[in-house]
Amino acid sequence: MLQKTCECGHPMEIRLRKVIYARAVEVDNVPVYMCPHCRRISILPEIKEDLARLIRDLGLEPERNAIDFADVSEWAYLIAQATDESRMHEPIQQLIADRVDQLLDLMLLARSLEDVAWEAELRGRLSQITRPVLAS
- Give Cβ neighbours of residue 53 (< 8 Å, ≥ 6 apart): 72
Please report, for residues 38, 62, 63, the alpha-carbon distance to residue 57 in angstroms, rounded to integers and kept in the order given: 33, 9, 12
Stretch that binds Zn ion, among 36-44, 68-76, 77-85, 86-94 (CB under 5 A): 36-44
Q: What track of x and - describes contact with Zn ion for positions 87 through 106 (by CB under 5 A)?
A: --------------------
Site for Zn ion contains 37 (CB under 5 A) = yes
Among 27, 29, 33, 35, binds Zn ion (CB under 5 A): 35
* Position 6 contacts Zn ion (CB under 5 A): yes
Query: In terms of CB distance, is 40 or 99 closer to Zn ion?
Result: 40
Q: Indicate the DSSP class of residue 84.
A: S
Member of 4, 5, 8, 26 binding Zn ion (CB under 5 A): 8
HSE on the CB side for 96, CA within 13 Å?
15
Nearest CA to 129 among 109, 99, 106?
99
**Rule CB under 5 A: which residues touch Zn ion?**
6, 8, 10, 35, 37-38, 40
